[in-house]
Amino acid sequence: MHQPLAAKMTHKKYISIAKDDLFSAMILLKSKQYPQSLFYTDQAIEKLCKYVIIKDKILTEEQLKSKIGHDSTKVFDIITNYLIGKINESRENKYSDFVDDLITGKELLIKLRYKRKNDELSEEDINGELNIIKSYLFDNPPSPYDYLFIQKPEDLLNTLLDMNLIDKKEIPDFDLKILNNEFYNQILVLLKEYIEAAYKYQNYMMALISLAGLFSTHWETTRYPTQNLTPKDKYNENNLIIKYLQCFQDLTLELIMRFENLKI
In a domain, 147, yes or no: yes
Which region among 5-9, 111-115, 230-234 has the lowest average model confidence (pLDDT)?
A: 5-9
Contact 191, 197 (CB under 8 A): no
How many structural domains is the chain composed of?
A: 1
Q: What is the pLDDT of residues 36-53, one digit of tens each?
A: 999 899 899 989 988 888
Side-chain-facing half-sphere of 150: CA atoms under 13 Å: 22
- pLDDT beyond 60 at 144: no
Average pLDDT over residues 78-93: 64
Distance CA(218)–CA(234), nearest Å, equals 13
Question: What is the structure's pLDDT at 183?
Answer: 62
What are the tens digits of pLDDT across the range 227-262?
A: 677 888 888 899 888 999 999 999 999 999 999 988
Task: List the domain range (segments joined by +) for residue 55.
Answer: 11-261
Residue 2 lies in a domain: no
- Asked, for residue 206, whether it belongs to a domain, the answer is yes
**pLDDT level of residue 54 (50, 70, 90 thresholds):** confident
Q: Where are the beta strands (DSSP E) in 211-254?
A: none
Whether 1 maps to a domain, the answer reads: no
On whether residue 254 sits in a domain, the answer given is yes
